[in-house]
Amino acid sequence: MNQKKNRHIKLWVTVIFAAAFLTAGAGFYRDLSASGEETYKGLKIFSDVIEIIENNYVDPVDTKDLIQKAIQGMVHGLDPHSSLLPPEAFEDLQIDSEGEFPGIGIHITLQNNFITVISPIEGTPAFKAGIKAKDKIIRIDGVTPKDLRDAVSKMRGPKGTTVVVTISREGVTEPLEFTLVRDIIPVESIKSVSIKPGYGYIWITNFTGNTTDDFIKALEKFESAAPPKGLILDLRDNGGGLLTQAVKLSDVFIDDGKILSIEGRHKKNSKIYNAHPDKVKRTYPMVVLINSGSASAAEIVAGALQDHKRALILGTTSFGKGSVQSVETLRDGYALKLTIARYYTPSGRSIQAKGIEPDIVLRHKTPGDESIYDDDGMLKEKDLKNHLDANPDAKKKDKEPGSGAKTDKEKKDPVKKIKVRDSDYRLGPLTSEGIQTDNQVMHALEILVSYEIFKSKLNP
């Protein structure tokens, strides 16, 4: 009996520790204490459930693992973008934000169930060794990676250490083995090319700590090559990143007025970001490309340029993530990513679960045939469980059939509706010849060229 009592006391200590673990650094401990008896009743039920699972579940369980999953479930129950970040996930997030990481220097993706090289980053160990776009990674240090995260984890490591990467290359019968020395790799979020004199194309893949600086460098290179007549800004499949970088990048083209406002439950989480006059006046016309993969920070840029009538938006409706998250550090390398505010475009629009609607709707054609790349089959913010409403005063309610939310049947396999862009020009080095296969880019170019012609006709 005493043994059972002692076990129950130890379990309670574990539960209280878990609560303190979650709240430390996040500023919630006072609220937890103030919520009174109901909170502790809930913790009591929680400890009872864990004890029953420990004693009766069909397989042995790890109490620490159970508690972590319980915390994760609680946080995910708030909205799809709040989460508990284990140490490895928190480290990945920091690397993405900082703009550099230790590794070999390749972009990879999962294509036809193979971990495939999108492109090596110029000047990195992978580039110098001769790894090419479309190479398939079959082993890392003699071990087949389980998934993309596992492959990334295996290839990253301290500068100066070695890693052996075995790849399969089309046209080569035997696997190729590369012994690479890891180095510090810059995260490239900007790629650019001149399509024709005076017309530039800049592709932003995500928003990291150095995105705006790299973007301005690309702009200056474009502007110095020939008198600028028009710019195409590609934000397709850009999942977002740092809010501050999205604001700074928008400010490059907007001289006054509001760029963004964020509104949270507390005043400290509310803020208005205004534009500032720039020394360099960039008044040339712009077309911004978006699709259902354009989210968060990418939508901030597109919304600001659209509201200020600074750019024409072309493509398909964006993802619709109009919320802001902050990251609070916890103990033992963990962190809590928590939604703290909604954001609004300069005109006061909330794009939460709605997205940015393009001025010109144009779907992407798959290179090599006339079929349409239909991104309407992709899951968007409005399809995610527990997504926030655009209006903070709206009450959450179950989506009724026909309300606009996808049914379970529709959600089962949305990817099957989408034609994979196996020959996407972006699977490899960016060239002006390559992007000529992209109907959205070419249509954007036609718009800019037509604008220049009309301007010369109207102002001879």
Beta strands of 247-285 (E only): which ranges? Answer: 258-264, 271-274
Please give the Cα distance from 118 to 140 (Å, whole number): 17
- Tokens 């592709």 locate to 203
Q: C-alpha angle with apex 241: 237 to 243, nearest 5 degrees?
A: 125
Residue type, 14: T
Please give the Cα distance from 323 to 352 (Å, whole number): 7
Secondary structure of residue 118 in the 3-state scheme: strand
Catalytic residue list:
296, 307, 321
- Our measurement of the distance from residue 313's CA atom to the centroid of its chain's CA atoms, rounded to an integer in Å, reads 20
Q: Which residues pair with 137 in a beta bridge?
A: 115, 167
Surface-to-core class of residue 370, CB atoms within 10 Å of its CB (0-12 exposed, 13-18 middle, 19+ buried): exposed
> Is the CB of residue 321 less than 8 Å from the CB of residue 299?
yes
End-to-end Cα, the chain, rounded Å: 98
The encoded tokens of residue 29 equal 């401990």
> Is the CB of residue 99 less than 8 Å from the CB of residue 349?
no
The encoded tokens of residue 39 equal 């909170």
Please give the Cα distance from 292 to 381 (Å, whole number): 10
